[in-house]
Chains A and B, each alone.
Chain A
Amino acid sequence: MQIRKYPFRFSIVFLFLLGLLIFFAVHLVFIQIFRSAYLTHLARRQHEQVIELEPVRGTIFDRNKRPLAFNIAVYSLFANPRVMSEANKQSAVMNLSPLLNMSPAEISGQLAKDRYFVWLYRKMSSDVVEKIKAWRIPGLGFQKESKRYYPGGPLAAHVIGFAGIDNEGLEGLELAFNRRLKGEPGWMNVRRDARQRQLMLDPEFLPPQDGMNLVLTIDETIQYLTEQALAKGAEKHHAAAASMIVVDVKTGEVLALANVPTYDLANAASSSTESRTNRAISFMNEPGSVFKIVTAAAALEEGGVKEEDKVYCENGEYRVANHILHDHTRHGFITFRQVIEVSSNIGTTKIAQKIGPDLVYKYAKRYRFGELTGIDLKGEVAGVIKPVAQWSKTSIGAVPIGQEVTVTPIQLLGAIAAVANDGVYMKPYVVKAVKDKYDQVIEAFGPRELGRVMSVETAKRLREILRGVVEEGTAKTARIDGVSVGGKTGTAQKVVGGTYSHDKFYASFIGFAPVENPRLAAVVVFDEPHPSYYGGTVAAPVFKEVMENALKYLSVVDAGKVNETPKTP
């Protein structure tokens, strides 16, 4: 009735409401269809967050599965300078500076930046984190990261190496196997509520691939023994540097590799380049008398020389071209065996002259001098040995006694291990296996023969001669009670300014034990020991200490394995 009375007003209201309805409908269609993508994107940005999932860096174990390097979660401190008031910033500078051992200027500089995110301190310990949290300074926050820890401290530093602040390998195996250790990051798309709290609500994610683990050939106990003995020897004889390597002769597995100076893996960033250098594989030096095993092997194998053949050692002076060669002790007629036992330079040179330089060079190459051993550590150098065509007239009096050649400790070790292993040269290696986090083997590295240096018979004869060096000759300090030891000492003048120094020497010893059935071989090299500088005085006692304890330790380990009760299925 009212409608009939006021039809015009009704029409106006009706049209107005209709128009409103149409407007809303059109707007709805516009939002739902034409702006859908943009608004969905805005909503996603607000409600969803993509988080990168950091993979866990692989652990490095010794041969007995004792961890040498692994990652654990730590917190890093960041600040949001844009939301911090001046009072908050001042409070942060005042409190953080003494706690983090940073200068106030450094912290102020970070907080002065016009950014939403600045790092203040990376990877701090949990007690420091709790202290900072207790202050409740607005604008400060923590981000979880993982940090590399080395529970052994400086143990096997030159083998393991270290990873940097971003978990990237920078030295040693951490660098050489970085790709396998670091893994692949994943991601997760999580929902957030209005307070930016994350919800476990149907997240999309790609799980991270954790890094793989390395199992080394290194034995933590033998490594420790080696490092202690080497450090003690270097300190006692005031050596500038030293290296020692211990290897299983049958397999080539490196049980210990140590250098002096060394560094603490936990503080690698503050260590010097010199302390981080792996001298055992990357420093060359003239080996001196230890190189006489080359001439000895050549003479026995192909030179037709027998142990009891007499050699006249010219009573200590012998001319080779325009050079006078000297012996440390004057000798007349001695046997070939005694030439090696007493380390006669003249006797060795005469043998070398008899068999010829080509044979000497041939056996030096068979021992792989002048070539890489192929150990799975970066930075190995090959050393230098000149081909015979480049020898001078005096070289026949130099090369056989370990001059005019340069070798690395690892090459000397490979050579003496070949003598111990019946003439077979085994490739030295430090990584035994790569495993995943479920302990499944991904890649295994086993013993590898690189060639035969000499026959089994010659190796046996040479071992007996080298036993004589320890029992009767220059290496009496390497004797171990109850264990037969064979080896060779070396004392080489250092080349300084192009000439041989008279007061700077390399003292070395290469050896193996037991002689009858060799198990371990080792090389010890000291750089500039003084006042004592002979290999028999400086290097051989270190060999004895390590070898004695290592063999005792391994015999206990072996006894434990024999007595293990087999597990019932």
Chain B
Amino acid sequence: MPINRVFQSLSCVTLFALCYIHLQIQIVNLAYIGKKKEQQVRQLTEENGHLSYNIAMLKSASHLGEKLLQENSGLRFADPRRIVQISAPPDKTTAQPAAASAPAASAAEKDNPMLSLLSLTKE
């Protein structure tokens, strides 16, 4: 019957309309959340700026000079003739970290059979 068709069509249209409105509301909600996050980020950026300024001020030559050189601390620039430079051979500085990590790795593999299995497949 045509009246049934009309009701069906109207129901479909209403349903789609409701879905559309729901989506739009979700978009607006997300917009509010996004704005809130943006404000948080902005606040953190501002805090970062203030902290950066404090760090820069504490590290500045004026501040360090006042604290170290002027408050009768006895600190002075080192005479280059009194500085002895010691160069460590490269193998002693680079080999040790690898050697230190190797036993730790094998211990981890012992505790976890899955790891050792993976090691086998890697090899």
A residues neighboring B (CB under 8 Å): 66-67, 70-73, 126, 149, 151-155, 191, 193, 197-201, 220-221, 223-224, 228, 482, 549, 551-553, 555-556, 559, 563
Contact = CB atoms under 8 A, between A and B. Distances in A.
A251 to B, nearest CB: 22
Interface in B75-119: 77-81, 83, 85, 87
Contacts of B32: 197, 199-200
A549 B77 contact: yes
B60 A155 contact: yes
Contact of B61 (A152, A200, A559): A152
A224 B53 CA distance: 19
A317 to B, nearest CB: 46
A383 B56 CA distance: 39
A338 to B, nearest CB: 32
Interface of B: 27-28, 30-32, 34-35, 38, 42, 45-46, 49-50, 52-53, 56-57, 59-62, 65, 69, 77-81, 83, 85, 87
A186 B78 CA distance: 51
> Chain A's interface: helix, strand, loop or mixed, by majority?
mixed
A382 B31 CA distance: 61
A555 B56 contact: no
B80 A73 contact: no
Nearest to A219: B61
B48 to A, nearest CB: 9
A223 B61 contact: yes
Given A152-B61, A155-B61, A197-B32, 12 more contacts: A66-B56, A70-B56, A72-B49, A72-B52, A153-B60, A155-B60, A200-B31, A482-B81, A556-B77, A556-B80, A563-B85, A563-B87
Given A482-B81, A556-B78, A559-B83, A199 B56 contact: no
Which 8 pairs, one residue from A and one from B, show the smallest C-beta to C-beta distance? A72-B49, A200-B34, A224-B61, A151-B56, A199-B31, A151-B57, A555-B80, A201-B31
Contacts of B53: 70, 72, 149, 151
A438 to B, nearest CB: 17
A438 B106 CA distance: 43
B46 A72 contact: yes
A86 B56 CA distance: 45
Nearest to A558: B80
> Chain B's interface: helix, strand, loop or mixed, by majority?
helix
Contacts of A151: 53, 56-57, 59-60
Contacts of A221: 61
Contacts of B49: 71-73
A201 B61 contact: no
Contacts of A228: 65, 69
Contacts of B77: 549, 552-553, 556
A66 B60 CA distance: 8
A480 B69 CA distance: 20
A154 B60 CA distance: 11
Given A552-B77, A552-B79, A556-B80, A153 B62 contact: yes
A126 B83 contact: no
A191 B34 CA distance: 13
A73 B28 CA distance: 29
A72 B53 CA distance: 8
Contacts of A71: 49
A224 B50 CA distance: 24
B62 A73 contact: no
B65 A199 contact: no
A152 B58 CA distance: 9
Contacts of B80: 551-552, 555-556, 559
A87 to B, nearest CB: 31
A201 B31 CA distance: 5
10 contacts: A67-B52, A67-B56, A72-B49, A152-B62, A191-B31, A197-B32, A200-B34, A224-B61, A556-B77, A563-B85
Given A72-B53, A126-B50, A155 B31 contact: no
A553 B52 CA distance: 26
B49 to A, nearest CB: 3
Contacts of B69: 228
A438 B46 CA distance: 19
B66 to A, nearest CB: 10
B93 to A, nearest CB: 8
A46 to B, nearest CB: 16
